[in-house]
Amino acid sequence: MSQSLNFANQNLCDRSFKGKNLIGADFSGADLRGCDFCYANLKDANFTNVVTGKSQRQKFSFSILAFVMAMVFAGTAMITSILLITFAIVFILGTAGINREVGYGVAIVATVVFAVGFTITFTGSFTISGGKGVEVAIVISLVTAFMSGLFGANLAKLLVTGAFNAIANALRINSLASLLLFLAIELLQILGSLYLFRLAINLLRSGIGTKFRYADLSRASFQNANLISCDFSSATIRDVNWQKSQISRCKMPSNFDS
């Protein structure tokens, strides 16, 4: 085996081997977290005792993405709650039920919904993934909740005022049509919020670390390998040795036989 194909016991985190010709390469004992082997020729390659999964760089990127997704979910949940509460008030009590105190109350509820929704989603994504960083996620969630209460109240008031005006005007024109339109919009928002929540909560757990998509792994050996969060989808796995390998949260080809 040539020296250029000897990667045994090396730290190869975040290295890209995409499309490379690595026939017979020795990766035994190597740290392959975050590596990209997509479309590579890995026939007869040795992956004995390798470590795979998400690298520290990937974990940080996924954490940032989880933060953004949690913010989007919390914002969607806040808008949904504003529309639901304001419509109920106007539809039941009419425009007489609209005053400054009611508006403040709805804004406070909406701000709490945002803070709680973000906290549950962001910390939940770390908890479900089973990884480290839950304590940091809790601190970030508390800080974000405090900042949303401090600076988000004015935005919530504007949204509540706009919602009250829009709903009141719509009900004056045609109450039945407005009710049906509101129910349709609210249903779509609730379904969208649930989808965003599920996506955000599972982001860290389902994120892919080491990629083998469309790689040719014919006769490769993964004996005693620790395979976590790998993507083997559409890879050629003919006569691969999986003996004593630990496989967790991996995307496997349809012809994989565990």
DSSP codes, 37-96: -TT-B-TT-B-TT-B-S--HHHHHHHHHHHHHHHHHHHHHHHHHHHHHHHHHHHHHHGGG
| Domain boundary assignment for the chain | 71-206, 210-258
- What is the model's pLDDT at position 196? 82
Among 66, 73, 55, 72, residue whose Cα is nearest residue 13: 55
Q: How far apart are CA 242 and CA 152, in angstroms?
A: 53
Q: What is the pLDDT of residue 107?
A: 85
Q: What is the mean pLDDT of each run of 10 residues along the chain (258 residues)?
A: 78 95 95 96 96 90 87 88 83 70 82 88 78 76 78 74 76 73 79 82 79 95 94 93 91 79
CB 136: neighbour CB atoms within 10 A? 12
Q: Which amino acid is at 10?
A: Q
pLDDT the model gives residue 97: 62
Angle at 102 between CA 98 and CA 108, to 5 degrees: 140
Structure-token pair, residue 142: 């508390």
pLDDT at 11 (0 to 100): 96
Placement of tokens 């740290």 in the chain: 31
Amino acid at 215: A
pLDDT of residue 1: 47
Categorise residue 118: left if φ over 0, alpha if ψ from -120 to 50, beta otherwise. Answer: alpha
pLDDT of residue 37: 96
Q: Count of CB atoms within 10 A of residue 141's CB? A: 22
